[in-house]
């Protein structure tokens, strides 16, 4: 009979080169490298020994079914626990709601213990091994994780890699002068080096947290603080930081976390004369962390939060020597940006160009997390080069998008709020819920029934897009019932400076129950449409993320299309990004692989016998 120790040794042998090959390049010249690797092996063995039996069984199942997260029955839902259910115990009462909607993956927004007061929405973590006491306890977390697992729902939790709160135990010891822990962070005796670094660094929060360094008078040192003054950047050039974070990663996996969402990964490695983003060592670190997971907790996968330009994003899913061995999931930020861009401009040429030019048709052992809205602001990641390829100005287009979605552009249907303005570039980021940005708020206020219809269509267009493009579609809490902007954040001192709270409303359970009951309301229509989209997605083999997504030309501005090239059941997905009726030739559909003029989304024929396929405003078709 095979023992646990033998299974561990087999997995260690499988992952040895992926783990220690990367660590050797990062830390091999250090005198303490041997001591570090011995300590890391001890952590891996101990974590495996402590792993619960039911999770070890899940490890085996996912070793045998490594594509589990790529399958079309995966559909995600993202929420703040307190705003969705009050606390962890409350989540147990909402499991039927999640299952009825078709959800098989949930992301608890930051739920580890944050610092008190402003915590950057929970991303300023004080203790990675404890749950936010406002939400519950670690045993309660394990109970909820087990209940989700019993329903086939995977659990995603945030783990911030770039920084800790200044109140973290390591930071407190560093502040007391303990040299070991001062080396866990990036500290400087004077501002000479910080000033040199600043020459090429970008300010993330220029309005409320300018600069990248903070002087700590109590210890007489400058501390690297990329995001906020209370978030101290970790020194990943120190292998003992890697060891600590790997142990935390495996601790969380042993508590039932299926997907570790690594936050702010692009910033982990610092190099003078660069932006200190997406440096090669970042990918070595993430490759090594993935290998450590595959050895001691192989059921867990990694989602890497890197909101960067298209050319920078793909390496986080593994390319070159890291192909198939880095992140399993990464946010398709460009798909989200291009959706909003095409809606505002009624023009899909840029969308077609960007998604065809910068993204491979398929990824080895990885896929995208696709989304239309999330907890964060929208930064208009349209490069000047991509804009110029279409004969437009990058700065002008980004400015247009900000003005349109703030609601100030003539004829805009949207209502949003500015988040930050970069005075050097003029770029402005935008906050707002999906429904408010898509026009529902403005239409409801005006009593405009046609406007309400069009807003609902835009929302369902977005959900159909992310459900079919490839990867795991993520629905942000409330988007399935059209929750509007919550302007009450302005009255909360901890939130008033951060307009992102406008799109983090509390769940409206009265509206949700009415929507489930089928009441005639916008919420009910959006809910029914979203539920239907996820059910149809789960039934279509073409939407397995292992099959290629190939962008095709429609030769019409305002229409966007791609093939899902499944050998057994291919599909051609077609979207109308305008409020006008359009049509496209039957011959075009046949040339692009359509044999039956049948829509897998509506589950109905699309041809009236003519040589054209009629497309209503904001049409979404999955042609078989």
Q: Which two tokens stand for residue 103?
A: 């959800």
Helix (H, G, I), strand (E, B), or coil: what is residue 611? coil
Q: Which two tokens stand for residue 554?
A: 């429609």
The rounded distance, in Å, linking the Cα atoms of 312 and 381 is 12
Q: Is the dihedral of CA 297, 299, 302, 303 positive or negative?
A: negative
Q: Which of 120, 263, 304, 347 is catalytic?
A: 263
| 270 to 21, 226, 244, 319: CA distances (angstroms) | 21, 11, 19, 21
The rounded distance, in Å, linking the Cα atoms of 425 and 404 is 18
Q: Which of 305, 377, 406, 417 is catalytic?
A: 305
Q: Which two tokens stand for residue 222?
A: 């400058």
Residue position matching structure tokens 């500015």: 418
Q: What's the alpha-carbon Rg for the chain, to the nearest Å? A: 24
| 95 to 89, 149, 335, 594: CA distances (angstroms) | 11, 11, 29, 38
The rounded distance, in Å, linking the Cα atoms of 278 and 538 is 35
The answer to whether 498 is a known catalytic residue is no
Q: How many CB atoms lie within 10 A of CB 492?
A: 11
Residue 451, H or E segment:
helix 449-468
Q: Which two tokens stand for residue 318?
A: 């593994």
> Which residues lie below 8 Å from residue 21, measured CB to CB, with a gap of 6+?
none
Helix (H, G, I), strand (E, B), or coil: what is residue 499? helix
| 195 to 199, 230, 296: CA distances (angstroms) | 7, 20, 42
DSSP 8-state class, residue 485: P
> Which residues lie below 8 Å from residue 313, measured CB to CB, with a gap of 6+?
306, 330, 331, 332, 333, 334
The answer to whether 142 is a known catalytic residue is no
* Phi/psi at 177 (5° precision): 95, 10
The rounded distance, in Å, linking the Cα atoms of 17 and 552 is 40
Half-sphere exposure of 328 (CA within 13 A, CB side): 22
Active site residues: 263, 305
């Amino acid at each position: 009979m095979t023992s646990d120790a033998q299974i561990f040794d087999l997995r260690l042998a499988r992952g040895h080169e992926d783990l220690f090959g990367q660590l050797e390049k990062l830390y091999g010249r250090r005198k303490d490298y041997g001591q570090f690797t011995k300590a890391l092996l001890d952590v891996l063995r101990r974590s495996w020994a402590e792993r619960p039996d039911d999770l070890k069984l899940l490890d085996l199942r996912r070793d045998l079914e490594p594509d589990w997260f790529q399958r079309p029955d995966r559909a995600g839902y993202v929420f703040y626990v307190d705003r969705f259910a009050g606390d962890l115990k409350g989540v147990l009462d909402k499991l039927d709601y999640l299952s009825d909607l078709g959800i098989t993956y949930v992301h608890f927004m930051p739920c580890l213990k944050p610092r008190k007061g402003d915590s950057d929405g929970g991303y300023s973590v004080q203790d990675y091994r404890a749950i936010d006491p406002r939400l519950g306890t670690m045993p309660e977390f394990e109970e909820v994780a087990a209940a989700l697992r019993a329903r086939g729902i995977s659990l995603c939790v945030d783990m911030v890699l770039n920084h800790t709160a200044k109140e973290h135990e390591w930071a407190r010891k560093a502040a007391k002068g303990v040299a070991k822990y001062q080396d866990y962070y990036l500290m400087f005796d004077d501002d000479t080096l910080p000033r040199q670094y600043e020459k090429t660094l970008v300010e993330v929060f220029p309005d409320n947290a300018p600069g990248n360094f903070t002087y700590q008078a109590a210890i007489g040192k400058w501390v690297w603080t990329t995001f906020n003054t209370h978030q101290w950047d970790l020194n990943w050039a120190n292998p003992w930081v890697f060891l600590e974070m790997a142990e935390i990663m495996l601790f969380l996996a042993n508590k039932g976390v299926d997907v570790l969402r690594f936050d702010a990964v692009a910033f982990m490695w610092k190099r003078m004369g660069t932006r200190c983003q997406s440096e090669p060592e970042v990918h070595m670190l993430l490759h090594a962390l993935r290998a450590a997971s595959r050895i001691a907790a192989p059921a867990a996968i990694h989602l890497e939060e890197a909101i960067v330009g298209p050319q920078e994003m793909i390496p986080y899913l593994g390319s070159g020597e890291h192909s198939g061995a880095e992140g399993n999931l990464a946010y398709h930020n460009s798909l989200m940006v291009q959706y909003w861009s095409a809606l505002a401009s009624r023009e899909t040429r840029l969308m077609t160009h960007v998604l065809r030019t910068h993204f491979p048709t398929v990824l080895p052992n990885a896929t995208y997390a696709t989304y239309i809205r999330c907890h964060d602001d929208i930064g208009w990641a349209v490069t000047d080069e991509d804009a110029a390829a279409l004969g437009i100005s990058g700065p002008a287009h980004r400015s247009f998008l900000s003005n349109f979605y703030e609601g100030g552009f003539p004829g805009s249907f949207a209502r949003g709020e500015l988040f930050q303005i970069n005075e050097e570039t003029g770029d402005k980021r935008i906050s707002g819920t999906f429904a408010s940005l898509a026009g529902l708020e403005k239409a409801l206020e005006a009593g405009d029934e046609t406007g309400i219809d069009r807003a609902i269509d835009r929302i369902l267009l977005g959900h159909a897009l992310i459900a079919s493009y490839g990867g795991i579609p993520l629905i942000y809490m409330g988007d399935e019932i059209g929750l509007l902007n919550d302007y009450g954040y302005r009255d909360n001192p901890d939130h008033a400076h951060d307009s992102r709270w406008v799109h983090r409303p509390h769940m409206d359970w009265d509206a949700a129950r009415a929507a489930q009951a089928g009441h005639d309301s916008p919420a009910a229509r959006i809910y029914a449409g979203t539920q239907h989209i996820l059910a149809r997605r789960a039934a279509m083999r073409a939407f397995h993320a292992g099959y290629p997504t190939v962008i095709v030309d429609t030769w019409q501005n305002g229409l966007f299309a791609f093939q899902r090239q499944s050998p057994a059941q291919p599909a051609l997905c077609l979207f109308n990004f305008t409020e006008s009726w359009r049509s496209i030739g039957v011959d075009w559909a046949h040339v692009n692989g359509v044999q039956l003029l049948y829509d897998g989304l509506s589950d109905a024929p699309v041809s009236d016998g003519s040589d054209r396929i009629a497309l209503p405003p904001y049409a979404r078709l999955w042609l078989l």
